[in-house]
């Protein structure tokens, strides 16, 4: 069933957003539903998602992808089109496509070395007319991206490895943002350099964490 008509999944996503005080326009929601359909239904770029995850793509993957927007969006000047944000290991586009859809004034880079995934994301970018997103078909370390305001990643490596990889690309005062299962970052709870915001996703039992660390060097 298309996510454009899957009311149960739409309701779970919208309840999650409104529970955090966020309301998206119909146009933005429709683009998110179209993105979900493209990930779930497109077969010619290899296996982009498991069958189990494809049934709850809005309530799990789109909701999770929007967490940085939900928690940081208000502090971001979304009117300022000089803000640059790279996502390392973008895969099939989470979280960077939902973020680019929700924050059209921020310039996003989806960084991913695997060709099939790069081609898929390029196709989606064109189909959804996402002029604020550039697909970069490289490893982050060789992407040449520097002086970024934000660098994010989801399901890439450990916090420590992710931070090390990101730090070189951040400008001074830039922020590293990552989405983790809380269990995997519980050891960071007393680290003063790291900020942790716990959250839950609809119909999921785990506790998740948005982890941020500013670059002061």
Please report, in range form, the residues annotated as the binding site for S-adenosyl-L-methionine: 89, 154
67 sits near ligand SAM (criterion: CB under 6 A): no
- Binding ligand SAM (rule: CB under 6 A), the pick from 94, 102, 175, 211 is 94
Q: What's the chain's Rg over C-alpha atoms? A: 16
Q: Per DSSP, what are the bridge partners of residue 181?
A: 208
> x/- string (CB under 6 A) for ligand SAM, residues 128-157?
-----------xxx------------xxx-
* Min CB(5)–ligand SAM separation in Å: 24
Is 15 strand, coil or helix?
helix
CA-to-CA distance for 36 and 3, rounded, in angstroms?
7
Beta strands in 33-98 (DSSP E): 84-88
Residues 6+ apart with CB under 8 A from 142: none
Q: Which is nearer to ligand SAM, 154 or 213 (CB)?
A: 154
114 sits near ligand SAM (criterion: CB under 6 A): yes
> x/- string (CB under 6 A) for ligand SAM, residues 69-88?
-------------------x
Between strands 208-214 and 170-181, the pairing is: antiparallel
* Min CB(90)–ligand SAM separation in Å: 6
89 sits near ligand SAM (criterion: CB under 6 A): yes
Is 25 strand, coil or helix?
coil
Between strands 107-111 and 84-88, the pairing is: parallel
Sign of torsion over alpha carbons 126, 128, 131, 133: negative
Q: Which residue has the tokens 């770029």?
A: 45
91 sits near ligand SAM (criterion: CB under 6 A): yes
* Min CB(52)–ligand SAM separation in Å: 14
Query: How many residues lie near ligand SAM (CB under 6 A)?
Result: 16
In the complex, the residues that contact ligand SAM under the rule CB under 6 A are: 88-91, 94, 111-114, 117, 139-141, 154-156
């Amino acid at each position: 069933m298309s996510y454009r008509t899957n009311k149960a999944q739409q309701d779970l996503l919208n309840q999650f957003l409104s529970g955090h005080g966020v309301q998206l326009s119909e146009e933005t929601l429709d683009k998110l539903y179209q993105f979900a359909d493209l990930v779930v239904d497109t077969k010619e770029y290899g296996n982009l998602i498991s069958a189990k995850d494809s049934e709850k793509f809005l309530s799990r993957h789109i909701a999770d992808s929007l967490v940085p927007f939900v928690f940081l969006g208000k502090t971001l000047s979304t009117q300022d089109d000089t803000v640059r944000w790279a996502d390392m290991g973008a895969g099939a586009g989470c979280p960077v496509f939902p973020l680019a859809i929700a924050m059209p004034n921020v310039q996003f880079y989806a960084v991913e070395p695997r060709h099939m995934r790069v081609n898929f994301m390029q196709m989606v970018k064109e189909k959804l007319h996402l002029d604020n997103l550039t697909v970069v078909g490289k490893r982050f370390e060789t992407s040449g991206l520097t002086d970024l305001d934000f660098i994010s990643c989801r399901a890439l490596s450990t916090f420590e490895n992710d931070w090390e990889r990101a730090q070189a690309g951040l400008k001074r005062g830039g922020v590293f943002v990552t989405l983790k299962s809380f269990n995997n970052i519980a050891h960071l709870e007393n680290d003063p350099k790291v900020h942790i915001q716990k959250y839950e996703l609809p119909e999921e039992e785990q506790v998740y964490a948005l982890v941020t660390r500013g670059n002061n060097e």
